[in-house]
């Protein structure tokens, strides 16, 4: 007689934020990212060297992550830097974190500089990133174009975190950011993307694009946001034209891709192996590799064959100012959770401009957070 006993299939592991363990890793990474951001803000003073600040930020991430999730054996998880510490000033849009051998390693912060700080932390492949904007040496309220561009970026992020809800569309966020920027006489930075993210993947297929050109939109996917998704919401706004370009500053941040190619140079293969061991799927700074000279040599071939993705240092036109606010957002059934704090309070601004659009004004007063439990 045949055995008709039903064989139970093994339960598939849930890897999204419907699992409380996954949420906990995002939140713990966010807590450390916020703590390190606070330390980095305090280091950003007049005449401080940017390279020293970036090194200190990365060191603080490594030290803090070493203190938690220390189970050994099969339960051991990856942890550490999810995005290297960067400090990008004035018209530099993003990704500035120089190497000791770069001419830019001598760069120092000056009074009045508009500085964008970005960094990220990951546990078990779940990454929480944060970015804020400060004005160096500002002892009083910041006014004028600096205030306009900073307030526009803040307001745009406030709107975005309310609009990223299940069933809403990505292009509606794009249009709302455009309207907010227009109200402050500034421009979103052209083509900048926010992505959904999953375990070991920070550049998911769902995207939000800022200030797109026709060329950007030609291959861009329209999508709806979904429950239990995670987004790295990145808002960059410029007082200039919103257009970016590379200058002479060399790229120092890369990320390993899934593309497989047999690199010809032994140095390139060794560098790729070191990247895999130290950073895995996350962006890293060449500064963190063992031999800077070999890293510079090997990364060229790796980038040429797209086994690594460069995060180029890009700039707006001379004299323009760029502000950035970024948070990592958990989209749950009951509301959203910002697991990183973009520190709107890090600089006091006063602007005479404001959003007048009635729908956006209403949006900005709406609730978006998961309701807090009331203690009985």
Taking the C-alpha atoms of residue 26 and residue 71, their distance in angstroms, rounded to an integer, is 18
pLDDT, tens digit, 9 for 90 and up, residues 282-296: 999 999 999 989 999
Residue ranges making up the domain that contains 300 = 252-311
**Same domain (yes/no): 173, 287:** no
Q: Confirm if 85 and 61 have CB atoms less than 8 A apart.
A: yes
**Same domain (yes/no): 93, 41:** yes
Radius of gyration in angstroms for the set of CA atoms belonging to the chain, rounded to a whole number: 21
Q: Tokens 């009083």 label which residue?
A: 140
Taking the C-alpha atoms of residue 354 and residue 16, their distance in angstroms, rounded to an integer, is 38
In this predicted structure, the answer to whether residue 258 has a pLDDT above a threshold of 70 is: yes
Taking residue 235's Cβ as centre, other Cβ atoms within 10 Å add up to: 31
**Closest of 32, 37, 35 to residue 68, by C-alpha:** 32
The pLDDT of residue 374 is 61
Distance set, CA 59 to CA 84, 191, 209, 239 (Å): 10, 31, 32, 33
**Same domain (yes/no): 243, 271:** no
**Same domain (yes/no): 274, 179:** no
The pLDDT of residue 132 is 98
CA 61 to centroid of chain Cα atoms: 15
Could you tell me if residue 366 is inside a domain? no
Could you tell me if residue 348 is inside a domain? no
| Average pLDDT of the segment spanning 206-228 | 95
**Same domain (yes/no): 324, 306:** no
pLDDT, tens digit, 9 for 90 and up, residues 340-369: 999 999 999 999 999 999 999 999 999 999
Taking the C-alpha atoms of residue 52 and residue 34, their distance in angstroms, rounded to an integer, is 19
**Same domain (yes/no): 41, 96:** yes
Could you tell me if residue 1 is inside a domain? no
Q: Which residues face 253 on adjacent strands? A: 285, 311
The domain total for the chain is 2
Which of the four pLDDT bands, split at 50, 70 and 90, describes residue 76? Answer: confident
CATH number, position 304: 1.10.10.10
**Same domain (yes/no): 137, 283:** no
**Same domain (yes/no): 277, 243:** no
What does the block give as tokens for 237? 């706004």
* pLDDT over 70, % of the chain: 95
CA 73 to centroid of chain Cα atoms: 31
Taking residue 302's Cβ as centre, other Cβ atoms within 10 Å add up to: 25
CATH number, position 46: 3.90.230.10
**Same domain (yes/no): 59, 192:** yes
**Same domain (yes/no): 263, 162:** no
pLDDT, tens digit, 9 for 90 and up, residues 319-340: 999 999 999 999 999 999 999 9
Distance set, CA 239 to CA 88, 143, 175, 242, 301 (Å): 15, 13, 18, 7, 37
What does the block give as tokens for 272? 């790729």
């Amino acid at each position: 007689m045949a055995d008709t006993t039903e064989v139970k299939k093994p339960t598939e592991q849930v890897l999204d934020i419907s699992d409380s363990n996954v949420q906990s890793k995002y939140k713990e990474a966010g807590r450390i990212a916020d703590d390190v951001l606070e330390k980095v803000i305090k280091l950003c003073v007049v005449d401080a060297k940017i390279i020293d600040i970036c090194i200190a930020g990365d060191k603080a991430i490594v030290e803090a992550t070493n203190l938690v999730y220390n189970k050994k054996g099969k339960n051991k998880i990856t942890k550490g830097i999810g995005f290297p510490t960067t400090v990008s000033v004035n018209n530099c849009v993003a990704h500035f974190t120089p190497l000791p051998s770069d001419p830019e390693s001598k760069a120092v912060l000056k009074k009045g500089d508009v500085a964008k700080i970005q960094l990220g932390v990951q546990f078990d492949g779940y990454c929480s990133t944060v970015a804020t904007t400060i004005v160096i040496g500002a002892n009083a309220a910041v006014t004028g174009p600096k205030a306009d561009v900073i307030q526009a970026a803040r307001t745009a992020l406030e709107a975005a975190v309310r609009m990223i809800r299940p069933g809403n569309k990505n292009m509606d966020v794009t249009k709302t950011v455009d309207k907010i920027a227009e109200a402050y006489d500034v421009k979103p930075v052209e083509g900048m993307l926010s992505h959904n993210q999953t375990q070991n993947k920070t550049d998911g297929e769902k995207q939000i694009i800022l200030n797109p050109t026709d060329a950007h939109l030609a291959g861009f996917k329209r999508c709806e946001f979904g429950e239990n998704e995670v987004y790295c919401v990145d808002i960059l706004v410029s007082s200039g034209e919103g257009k970016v370009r590379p200058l002479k500053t060399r790229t120092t941040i890369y990320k390993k891709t899934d593309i497989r190619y047999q690199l010809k140079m032994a140095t390139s293969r060794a560098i790729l192996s070191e990247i895999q061991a130290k950073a895995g799927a996350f962006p890293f700074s060449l500064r963190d590799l063992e031999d800077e000279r070999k890293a510079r040599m090997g990364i060229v071939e790796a980038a040429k064959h797209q086994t690594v993705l460069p995060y180029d240092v890009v700039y707006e036109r001379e004299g323009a100012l760029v502000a950035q606010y970024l948070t990592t957002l958990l989209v749950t059934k009951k509301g959203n959770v910002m697991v990183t704090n973009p520190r709107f309070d890090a600089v006091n601004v006063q602007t005479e401009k404001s959003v007048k659009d009635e729908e956006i004004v209403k949006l900005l007063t709406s609730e978006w957070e998961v309701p807090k439990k009331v203690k009985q």
